């Protein structure tokens, strides 16, 4: 009997020692907020490289859609903002590098509380874009940071970062032939093209679930046409921030900001 | 006390184990930040804590480098890596080392279209320059390795390169008394495996920092001045291509900065692109061979332009012999294909740069040569 007791005490002691002191007490878990982004046309998910039609019935194949979101924040019912991240970088093209990293998904620890909206800006906010800071340098950011030069989104010291990189092949008409004859590369940037989106109503709480998931559609058709502001690939296939093309840039920035749609 | 001599079993299958046992060694969110890639697990004991910490000298205008937490740099590890980098025992017939295809005078390339391996077999692609690898996010022209340690494992055993089974490589190095001492100093024990060899070489390669070119001295150190022609070349480098009277937004420039870094620091965007070398891509599908995506056909890693004047011939297949030929290729607009980078905006039309423009752009690119880097004794053959 003594041996049995001794064994029980030893086992209990072992279990206590084996516990990780950093672990949360049972019953309290860190809640996560997981945000998915899904490019779509006509509300149907697209594959990169898939032949698609724009609202002007022009053929496109999207190869890359990269973008920054800034000031990602949750809003409490009393209006208080809780920032999740200063900036995040997303890209829709599948990548075999960065094992375990899905560039279409953002994941944050959800601060305790209930939230009624999520907000963010499309692009790099002027505070971070560096254009107003004569001492700005990309060396501020290591290669794991969203603003790292290694993400290939830094433009030049004049205009700062590309806010969105939208590239692929296209034609000025719809066609089903194997090869599309032209390319498009539409890049927003410059502080004037940063867009703060209207907050999206949500209903999430750290008490409800360990994983709170938000799904955003990015409506590619809206990028090409929103409220009568159409991008005509017959003549508007390249934008890289030049002032001479700013009307195209404004249209692109406005349409792109309108392209984000919360699905749930 | 482990008798490490007993571990040195020639040809033992245990020495092959590390090559296939690629496991995620990082655990926990905090560690992920310092350990962005899977770390290979070897048969030797863990290495952390051995040796004197190496002080990585980051140029002030560079971002923080990618120094993996699983392979901390030490003075002894770097020195061991240097010896192994130049070690011909790592080739089947003892004729070549890593340095054979990556010579300092050529900015760690070999001036050949394709590099001869053991027995004269030629490599499939042009030898890449080894410059500022501490900042790289992928390795090889197709980016198939995601960290330097993983990259180093390949050339030793590749039949077209050093063609030595890793079991034999480990056995040879493990029987060398000098190396036994060096491994002890670097890693705490004389145990040798493929992982330790790759770790040491990776540590050495990360010390190869080039940031003292004439351009750097002019822009970042105030120690030199670019000539008017070089300055004009820089302006062309940073300007959009295309005649503005024909193409909205055009600046009659070279369109270089899109892919080679508008920040003028690393001179690469670390991305993969099809830069219009061919209209029909056959034989080498580049990035597609890694990703399996048709979108990636003919895409190759954007190389840094640092020391570009020393790394001829150019492109993944070494087709261009001079920088001028490269610039002329871009000035031609390149060839259209279904995966051509949209940043090659004028395929088959061209940028329309003049001969003078090309001359000046070439002069600017030559100003990126770092003579101190290629002459640095710390990288030379110690044997």
Shortest alpha-carbon distance between residue B191 and chain A (Å): 29
In a shared domain, residues B204 and B219: no
**pLDDT at residue B15 above 80?**
no
Q: What is the mean pLDDT of chain B?
A: 88
In a shared domain, residues B341 and B359: yes
Tell me which of A113-117, B157-161, B344-348 is least confident.
B344-348
* Average pLDDT score over residue span B121-136: 95
How many DSSP H helices and E strands does chain A contain? 4, 17
Residue of A103 and B85 predicted with greater confidence? B85
In a shared domain, residues B154 and B246: no
Q: Is B373 part of a structural domain of the chain?
A: no
CA atoms within 13 A on the CB side of B139: 23
Q: Please list every residue in chain A whose beta carbon sits closer than 8 Å to the beta carbon of residue B36.
A: 98, 144
Q: Whose CA is closest to B356, among B228, B181, B172?
A: B228
Tell me which of A16-25, B140-149, B269-278 is least confident.
A16-25
- What is the structure's pLDDT at B199? 96
* Average pLDDT score over residue span B245-264: 89
**pLDDT at residue B98 above 80?**
yes
Asked if B338 and A180 come within 8 Å (Cβ–Cβ), the reply is: yes
- Can you give the CATH number for the domain in which B185 is found? 1.10.760.10
In a shared domain, residues B201 and B263: no
Q: Taking CB atoms and an 8 Å cut-off, how many pairs form between chains A and B?
A: 124
Peptide bond into B313 cis (omega under 30): yes
Asked if B262 and A154 come within 8 Å (Cβ–Cβ), the reply is: yes
Asked if B61 and A139 come within 8 Å (Cβ–Cβ), the reply is: yes
Handedness of CA B36, B40, B46, B50 (dihedral sign): negative
- What is the structure's pLDDT at A157? 59
The two beta strands, A182-189 and A238-239, are: parallel
Q: Which residues of A touch B (CB under 8 A)?
A: 48-49, 63, 93-100, 137-145, 148-152, 154-157, 167-169, 179-181, 183-185, 238-240, 242, 244-245, 248
- What is the structure's pLDDT at B32? 34
- Residue A135's pLDDT band (boundaries 50, 70, 90)? confident
> Where do the structural domains in chain A lie, given as residue ranges?
31-262
**Residue of A30, A63, A135, A146 for testing the chain B interface, max B β-carbons within 10 Å:** A63
| Closest CB to A48 among B240, B270, B295 | B295
> Which position has the token pair 């990309």?
A138
SS3 A41: strand
* Average pLDDT score over residue span B200-208: 97
Shortest alpha-carbon distance between residue B87 and chain A (Å): 30
Q: Is B143 part of a structural domain of the chain?
A: yes
Asked if A156 and B63 come within 8 Å (Cβ–Cβ), the reply is: no
**pLDDT at residue A144 above 50?**
yes
User: What is d(CA A184, CA A63) in angstroms, rounded to the nearest whole number?
Assistant: 10
In a shared domain, residues B220 and B158: no
- What is the structure's pLDDT at B26? 32
Contact B266, B308 (CB under 8 A): no
Asked if A63 and B340 come within 8 Å (Cβ–Cβ), the reply is: no
- What is the structure's pLDDT at A224? 98
How many domains is chain B partitioned into structurally? 2
Q: Whose CA is closest to B129, among B104, B108, B98, B103?
A: B108
In a shared domain, residues B194 and B181: yes
Q: Is B375 part of a structural domain of the chain?
A: no
In a shared domain, residues B204 and B253: no
Asked if B143 and A97 come within 8 Å (Cβ–Cβ), the reply is: yes
- What is the structure's pLDDT at B379? 97
Tell whether B293 lies on the interface with A, counting CB pairs under 8 A.
yes
In a shared domain, residues B35 and B83: yes
Asked if B63 and A98 come within 8 Å (Cβ–Cβ), the reply is: no
Asked if B138 and A168 come within 8 Å (Cβ–Cβ), the reply is: no
User: What is d(CA B212, CA B295) in angstroms, rounded to the nearest whole number?
Assistant: 37
Asked if A63 and B291 come within 8 Å (Cβ–Cβ), the reply is: no
- What is the structure's pLDDT at A68? 98
User: What is d(CA B383, CA B372) in angstroms, rounded to the nearest whole number?
Assistant: 22
Mind listing the pLDDT tens digit for each residue in B214-230? Answer: 999 999 999 999 999 99
- What is the structure's pLDDT at B261? 83
Mind listing the pLDDT tens digit for each residue in B21-64? Answer: 333 333 333 333 333 444 455 788 766 568 899 999 999 999 99
Q: What residue numbers bound the domain in which B357 lies?
A: 214-367
Among B141, B175, B210, give the residue marking a domain's end: B210
* Average pLDDT score over residue span B150-179: 95
- What is the structure's pLDDT at A100? 54
Contact B151, B145 (CB under 8 A): yes
Please, which residues 302-361 of chain B have a Cβ atom closer than 8 Å to chain A?
A: 336, 338-345, 347
Residue of B17 and A162 predicted with greater confidence? A162
- Residue B152's pLDDT band (boundaries 50, 70, 90)? very high
Mind listing the pLDDT tens digit for each residue in A15-56? Answer: 444 444 444 444 346 899 999 999 999 999 999 999 999 999
In a shared domain, residues B12 and B157: yes
User: What is d(CA B245, CA A9) in angstroms, rounded to the nearest whole number?
Assistant: 87
- What is the structure's pLDDT at B175? 95
- What is the structure's pLDDT at A174? 96
- What is the structure's pLDDT at B41? 59
Q: What is the pTM of this model?
A: 0.86
Q: In the structure encoding, which two tokens stand for residue B369, read together?
A: 């040569």
- Residue A158's pLDDT band (boundaries 50, 70, 90)? low
Asked if A242 and B248 come within 8 Å (Cβ–Cβ), the reply is: yes
Q: Is B246 part of a structural domain of the chain?
A: yes
User: What is d(CA A37, CA A216) in angstroms, rounded to the nearest whole number?
Assistant: 5
In a shared domain, residues B198 and B225: no
In a shared domain, residues B112 and B142: yes
In degrees to the nearest 10, what's the CA dihedral of A146, B343, A233, A60? -70
User: What is d(CA A222, CA A120) in angstroms, rounded to the nearest whole number?
Assistant: 18
In a shared domain, residues B244 and B341: yes
Q: Is B185 part of a structural domain of the chain?
A: yes
């Amino acid at each position: 009997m003594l041996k049995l007791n001794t064994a029980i005490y030893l086992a209990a002691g072992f279990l206590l020692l084996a516990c990780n002191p950093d672990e949360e007490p049972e019953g309290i878990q860190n809640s996560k907020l997981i945000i998915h982004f899904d490019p779509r046309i006509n509300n149907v998910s697209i594959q990169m490289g898939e032949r698609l039609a724009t609202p002007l019935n022009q053929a496109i194949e999207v190869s890359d859609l990269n973008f920054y979101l800034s000031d990602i924040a949750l809003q409490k019912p009393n209006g208080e903002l809780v920032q999740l991240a200063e900036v995040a970088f997303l890209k829709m093209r599948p990548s075999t590098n960065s094992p375990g990293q899905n560039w279409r998904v953002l994941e944050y620890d959800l601060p305790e509380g209930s939230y009624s909206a999520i907000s963010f800006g499309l692009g790099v906010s002027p505070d971070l874009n560096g254009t107003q800071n004569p001492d700005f340098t990309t060396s501020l950011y290591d290669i794991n940071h969203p603003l790292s030069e290694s993400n290939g989104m830094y433009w030049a010291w004049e205009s700062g970062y590309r806010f969105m990189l939208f590239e692929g092949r296209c034609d000025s008409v719809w066609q089903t032939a194997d090869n599309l004859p032209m390319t498009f590369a539409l890049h927003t940037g410059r502080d004037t093209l940063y867009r703060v989106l209207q907050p999206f109503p949500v209903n999430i709480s750290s008490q409800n679930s360990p994983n709170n998931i938000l799904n955003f559609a990015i409506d590619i058709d809206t990028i090409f046409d929103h409220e009568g502001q159409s991008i005509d690939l017959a003549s508007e296939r390249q934008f890289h921030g030049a002032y001479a093309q700013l009307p195209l840039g404004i249209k692109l920035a406005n349409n792109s900001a309108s392209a984000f749609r919360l699905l749930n | 006390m482990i008798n490490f001599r007993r571990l040195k079993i020639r040809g033992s299958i245990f020495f092959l184990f590390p090559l296939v046992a690629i496991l995620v060694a990082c655990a926990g969110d905090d560690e992920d930040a310092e350990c962005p890639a899977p770390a290979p697990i070897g048969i030797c004991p863990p290495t952390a804590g051995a040796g004197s910490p190496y002080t990585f000298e980051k140029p002030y205008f560079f971002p923080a480098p990618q120094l993996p937490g699983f392979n901390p740099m030490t003075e002894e590890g770097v020195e061991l890596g240097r010896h192994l980098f130049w070690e011909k025992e790592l080739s089947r017939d003892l004729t070549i080392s890593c340095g054979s295809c990556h010579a300092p005078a050529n900015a760690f390339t070999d001036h050949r279209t394709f590099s001869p391996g053991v027995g004269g077999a030629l490599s499939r692609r042009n030898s890449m320059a080894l410059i500022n690898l501490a900042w790289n996010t992928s390795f090889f022209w197709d980016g198939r390795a995601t960290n330097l340690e993983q990259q180093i494992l390949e050339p030793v055993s590749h039949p077209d390169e050093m063609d030595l089974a890793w079991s034999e490589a480990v056995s040879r190095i493990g029987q060398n008394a000098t190396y036994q001492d060096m491994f002890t100093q670097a890693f705490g024990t004389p145990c040798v495996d493929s992982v330790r060899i790759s770790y040491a070489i990776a540590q050495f390669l990360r010390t190869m920092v080039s940031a003292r070119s004439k351009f750097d001295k002019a822009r970042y150190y105030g120690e030199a001045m670019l000539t008017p022609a070089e300055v004009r070349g820089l302006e062309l480098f940073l300007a959009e291509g295309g005649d503005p009277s024909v193409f909205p937004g055009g600046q009659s420039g070279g369109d270089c900065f899109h892919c080679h870094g508008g920040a003028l620091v690393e001179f690469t965007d670390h991305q993969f692109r099809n830069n219009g070398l061919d209209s029909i891509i056959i034989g080498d599908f580049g990035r597609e061979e890694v990703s399996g995506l048709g979108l990636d056909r003919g895409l190759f890693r954007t190389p840094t332009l640092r020391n570009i004047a020393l790394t001829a011939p150019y492109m993944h297949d070494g087709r261009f012999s001079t920088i001028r030929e490269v610039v002329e290729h871009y000035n031609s607009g390149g060839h259209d294909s279904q995966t051509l980078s949209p940043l090659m905006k004028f395929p088959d039309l061209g940028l329309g740069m003049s001969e003078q423009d090309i001359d000046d752009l070439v002069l600017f690119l030559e100003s990126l040569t770092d003579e101190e880097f290629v002459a640095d004794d710390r990288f030379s053959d110690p044997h």
